[in-house]
Chains A and B, each alone.
Chain A
């Protein structure tokens, strides 16, 4: 591990920490504009985080150490995920630590902790949220893995760095298997990031909540960490999507000019992705919770189809 590598790794972490909330703010801005509302400023998520960190943390009498530990674990998992995914460079020192399967496992670990923490206080909405989150998770996780498998079979590797570099070097043709996988991935990331049509991040109606019900009891710095983790998760999923389907422009060496060139490309890709997300969220309506399994089963089957298409056509 050399100095260049450590620098690139730390840059990736800082970029994730900064761009994550900005991406959330960007999506919120576009949602407001598309819905003819006045938009909050781009930096609004940072202001919210700052406010929350200043507030004291109010906890239920019954809350245990697990409840206090969970926000840190979730935040740490999401930051680690953002550091593993090749956002700026494919040559990060942490890249060998986890391949795409381990990445999915990392997201699942965060989900386990947040669900357990939601059950800890023993409120009706907490356990309801935990159950729904696990319901979404157990269907979304296999679908995500099917997408990963498709990319792995194309590139003969589950290492994200290898996937990105070999996908970006191939000729610019749309592979039918990747097209199916792309649709599946979009559906999964909508579900995993608690977006419309599966969940509404701006909801105030308790009975329809999934993610909001999980964090209902949290306040102060714990809530700030969870909110930050949520925006890191959106960032990580977006970057994973970009890595799998739009891998061009990621630096393959760790020198500073390459990194400096890769950053504007990443920002541009994320900005476009954010607008697409805002459009999806505006034109779709939230569905009933009992329709979510169907939605995710469709994503799973699309993922399996992508795999089969690749094996049938070899493309």
Chain B
């Protein structure tokens, strides 16, 4: 136990240092060299330090402090317990990789001045850390807004482009609609005591109706930030608009703060969840995941594709969250711990591999000035460093062994296989259907990732200018390598990672995965028992590598290793151009066909007599048409009616005042 270790002070010091770096950046707003070569690497180091403090705090008891900032008589309560420590570690580890990459990424003359950008970026980082530390609703909401506003300014870095303005506005709007939900949730949680500290909320025992209201408000509010259906629409707009390191941070870390909030409210502040909350979360999560995966397969913009893939992954996290609620509600803490572990592990994994992939797209974007998949191709030969690290990220995102993505999927599926023990017969029937959905989603993720990697990095360049593409610079490589190492280590040594993460689950459920024993051998993961299920990525990787090496040597010993280079064969068709490869549209075509009812498609097909034939498919999110446009129309209609009241003449307004007064008098008398 490290209860005496002042980890909270350390974390707060890092937060303060991030603010200081931001201020240092604004002191020299135009000096790119100072910002890029000194401030961002320093910030990356601080990220590692933060992760160090957080990991040290994970097994220890909670520490709290009261900071005399904020309003008079309303100080910030800060608390560092195992759950915040886990998410702070995610922030520190992923943030370190992104920050070091950002040092090499930002160029002169792009939108916001580098110093200002540095301020926004570090306020964003510090805001996220403060969200995770907050121990009262006031501090939480202030930090939450700090995070949202800083990221809004980062999204609109290139604020002169109308599309980006629009994306930023949409993001800001949905962030605030979500914030209202969270605010109302805290309002319900404090149960008319007027005391908004989390300690007070924990002490309240809400009746079922109020607790359910609080849960649904939290699901709505945090769901808006996590990109849960139908509040996901900002993700595919904001991510392509933002610079890549910012996309990486938003997708990799900021979405996790929403999951943190959900877990904090449901398991910690509310305490004893009801079973149907879990079913709601399962259904919403699965719908989100399926929707994200299907739409990712149809995208032709690489960052938009990754944004939809993030929606899919957050859906899976919410599925694990729902499963944990169901198990917890039925008093099966060991299984709830398994599902919760799947959730936390997937948060960590997604932070690492999605940051990696977004950073990879950033390098591609810099090298080619292209985001459209239809104009890329063949970059493996031009930018090997980016391509090979992206390959690791792709394997992780496709949830394949021995990567980290597979570990969390494996845990989640194991969790589903225990639902036979649930006492509710309907749930026993229903939950395996969710398992089938999860499996379908993760198989689709593989499809999406082959498309992503294959179209960008493989094949022949689809444009002439790609020949000049250059590989990433030194700092960028460092960031990519850091996150790649994360993908590999988290994948190959899951037992060690889970034993570190376990206090987080124990805190929320009063029961960890390692209760009364270890989660497995050092290298063999067996969360329940070795007869039940086990998985050892290390053994698989070792044997596979040994076979590869052995075959490589044997083939050369017994036969030979000769190679002759020739033009591609392709069944002897002589005229081959780069345009004959599958395009991104082509690769997504089977998915579009199979899931046609989900899409709103507009197709322009050329006729046989067109002199300049054009083929164009536009895919729209059906949510726009189904939900957002009706709401917008209703709002406009309502404002028009309200508009009638405003006549612009003082006599009319006096009349309104008079009538109101009369009405009030009438009410007061009655």
Contact = CB atoms under 8 A, between A and B. Distances in A.
11 contacts: A63-B565, A66-B380, A75-B548, A77-B544, A97-B536, A116-B458, A124-B582, A131-B586, A141-B446, A157-B533, A159-B534
Given A122-B581, A131-B587, A221 B395 contact: no
Contacts of A4: none
B559 interface: yes
B400 A123 contact: no
Contact of B443 (A60, A141, A157, A290): A141
B530 interface: yes
A114 to B, nearest CB: 10
A111 B656 CA distance: 72
B420 interface: yes
Contacts of B429: 308, 311-312
B531 A112 contact: no
A109 B401 contact: yes
A217 interface: yes
A259 interface: no
Interface in B127-148: none
B428 A61 contact: no
A83 B547 CA distance: 12
Contact of B578 (A59, A122, A139): A122
B562 A149 contact: no
A96 B446 CA distance: 25
Contacts of B531: 157, 159, 162
B632 interface: no
B539 to A, nearest CB: 4
Those 5 A-B pairs whose CB atoms lie nearest each other, nearest first: A122-B459, A122-B460, A127-B582, A97-B539, A60-B568
Contacts of B395: 109, 112
B422 to A, nearest CB: 11
B543 A97 contact: yes
B406 interface: yes
Contact of A142 (B439, B532, B536): B439
A57 interface: yes
B444 interface: yes
A120 interface: yes
Given A66-B380, A138-B443, A138-B444, 16 more contacts: A58-B565, A64-B380, A75-B551, A80-B547, A102-B401, A105-B399, A106-B540, A112-B394, A116-B454, A119-B459, A122-B378, A124-B573, A139-B443, A145-B439, A304-B436, A311-B420
B563 A56 contact: yes
Given A97-B543, A109-B395, A139-B443, A225 B551 contact: yes
Interface string A50-78: 00011011111111101000001101110
Contacts of A63: 565
Contact of A62 (B447, B454, B568): B568
Interface in B379-414: 380-381, 391, 394-395, 398-401, 406, 410, 413-414
A145 to B, nearest CB: 5
A77 to B, nearest CB: 7
Contact of A115 (B410, B450, B590, B594): B450
B453 A116 contact: yes
Contacts of B578: 122
B649 interface: no
A216 interface: yes
Interface in B444-464: 444, 446-447, 449-451, 453-455, 458-460
Nearest to A83: B543
Contacts of B454: 115-116, 119, 127, 130
B614 interface: no
A119 B460 CA distance: 9
B552 interface: yes
A61 B543 contact: no
A98 B564 contact: no
B381 A62 contact: yes
B566 interface: yes
Interface of A: 53-54, 56-64, 66, 72-73, 75-77, 79-80, 83, 94, 96-99, 101-102, 105-106, 108-109, 111-112, 115-116, 119-128, 130-132, 134-135, 137-139, 141-142, 145-146, 149, 152-153, 156-159, 162, 206, 216-217, 219-221, 225, 290, 293, 300, 303-304, 307-308, 311-312
Contacts of A54: 559-560
Nearest to A103: B401
B401 A106 contact: yes
Nearest to A109: B400
A293 B581 CA distance: 23
Contacts, number: 258
A137 B446 contact: yes
A290 B596 CA distance: 14
Q: Is the interface of B mostly helix, strand, loop or mixed?
A: helix
Interface string B593-621: 11000000000000000000000000000
A96 B524 contact: yes
Contacts of B552: 72
Nearest to B547: A76
Contacts of B563: 56-59, 220
Interface residues of B, number: 84
Contacts of A219: 569
Q: Is the interface of A mostly helix, strand, loop or mixed?
A: helix
Given A80-B544, A112-B449, A311-B428, A127 B459 contact: yes
B468 interface: no
B432 interface: yes
B399 to A, nearest CB: 7
Contacts of B568: 60-62, 121-123, 217
B208 interface: no
B576 interface: yes
B420 A60 contact: no
Contacts of A72: 548, 551-552
Given A75-B547, A127-B582, A138 B432 contact: no
B564 A57 contact: yes
Nearest to B576: A123
A311 B444 CA distance: 27
A178 B577 CA distance: 50
Nearest to A129: B582
B555 interface: yes
Contact of B565 (A60, A83, A119, A221): A60
A72 B646 CA distance: 76
A141 B439 contact: yes
B567 interface: yes
B435 interface: yes
Nearest to B589: A131
Contact of A128 (B416, B559, B582): B582
A194 B586 CA distance: 22
Contacts of B571: 125, 206, 216
Nearest to A135: B590
A113 to B, nearest CB: 9
A79 B536 contact: no
Contacts of A303: 436
B564 A58 contact: yes
A313 to B, nearest CB: 12
B184 interface: no
Contact of A76 (B410, B435, B439, B544): B544
Contacts of B321: none
A235 B173 CA distance: 56
Nearest to A124: B580
Nearest to B526: A96
A115 B395 CA distance: 13
B377 interface: yes
B458 A138 contact: no
Contacts of A60: 565-569
B433 interface: yes
Given A106-B540, A112-B398, A142-B439, A158 B533 contact: yes
A7 to B, nearest CB: 16
Contacts of B534: 96-97, 99, 159
A148 to B, nearest CB: 9
A146 B436 contact: yes
